[in-house]
Amino acid sequence: MKFRLSARPPLFPHCSPLHKYRLPFTSFLKTLQTSSRAPSSHNGGGGPGTGTGANSQSNFFLVPGATVATILMLGVLHARRLYDDKKVEEAREKGSEIEFKPDVKASFLKLLPLRTISRFWGSLTSTELPVWMRPYVYRAWARAFHSNLEEVARPLDEYVSLRHFFVRSLKEGARPIDPDPCCLVSPVDGTIVSLGELKRVGAMIEQVKGFSYSVSSLLGASSFLPMISEGNLQEDCSKQENLPREKSKQSWWKISLSFPKVWDPMSASPMKGLFYCVIYLKPGDYHRIHSAVDWNIHVRRHFSGRLFPVNERATRTIGNLYVENERVVLEGQWQEGFMAIAAIGATNIGSIELFIEPDLRTNRPRKKLLHLEPPEERVYEPNGVGLMLKKGDEVAAFNMGSTVVIVFQAPVSEFGFCIRPGDRVRVGEAMGRWHNP
| Distance in angstroms (rounded) separating the CA atoms of residues 65 and 132 | 18
* Residue 302, pLDDT above cutoff 90: yes
Helix, strand, coil proportions of the chain in percent (round to 5)?
A: 35, 25, 45
228 against 256, higher pLDDT: 228
* Residue 294, pLDDT above cutoff 90: yes
Q: Which one is catalytic: 290, 302, 304, 351?
A: 290
- Residue 350 near residue 400 (C-beta atoms within 8 A): yes
Q: Running DSSP on this structure, what letter comes out for residue 23?
A: B
Question: How sure is the predictor about 319, in pLDDT bands with cuts at 50, 70 and 90?
Answer: confident
Asked which of 41-45, 333-337, 346-350 is least confident by mean pLDDT, the reply is 41-45
- Residue 397 near residue 355 (C-beta atoms within 8 A): yes
- Residue 339 near residue 373 (C-beta atoms within 8 A): no
E-strand stretches of 126-250:
183-185, 190-197, 204-208, 211-214, 227-229
42: annotated active-site residue: no
DSSP strand pairing (227-229 vs 387-389): unpaired
Residues ≥6 apart with Cβ < 8 Å to 337: 226, 273, 408, 409, 410
Give the per-residue pLDDT at 102.
Answer: 74
Residues ≥6 apart with Cβ < 8 Å to 114: 306, 307, 308, 347, 350
* Residue 246, pLDDT above cutoff 60: no
**CA 234-239-244 angle, 5° bins:** 165
Asked which of 94-103, 134-143, 290-299, 366-375 is least confident by mean pLDDT, the reply is 366-375
78: annotated active-site residue: no
How far apart are the two ends of the chain, measured CA to CA in Å?
27
Q: What amino acid occupies position 137?
A: V
For residues 371-387, average pLDDT: 82
| Distance in angstroms (rounded) separating the CA atoms of residues 79 and 406 | 30
Give the per-residue pLDDT at 148.
Answer: 92
Give the per-residue pLDDT at 28.
Answer: 41
Q: Which of 128, 121, 191, 193 is nearest to 160 (CA)?
A: 128
Burial 91-130 (b: 16+ CB within 10 A, else e): eeeeeeebebeeeeebeebeeeebbeebbebbebbbbbbe
Question: How sure is the predictor about 273, in pLDDT bands with cuts at 50, 70 and 90?
Answer: confident
Q: Which one is catalytic: 40, 214, 351, 402?
A: 402
pLDDT digits 0-9 by tens, 78-108: 676 666 666 666 665 665 666 777 777 777 8
Q: Which one is catalytic: 189, 236, 285, 393?
A: 189
- Residue 328 near residue 354 (C-beta atoms within 8 A): yes
pTM of the model: 0.72
19: annotated active-site residue: no
- Residue 296 near residue 385 (C-beta atoms within 8 A): yes
Decide: helix, strand or coil at residue 240.
helix
| Distance in angstroms (rounded) separating the CA atoms of residues 396 and 143 | 25
Give the per-residue pLDDT at 310.
Answer: 87
What does the chain come to in residues? 437
134 against 313, higher pLDDT: 134
pLDDT digits 0-9 by tens, 177-208: 999 999 999 999 999 999 999 987 778 888 87
Give the per-residue pLDDT at 8.
Answer: 44
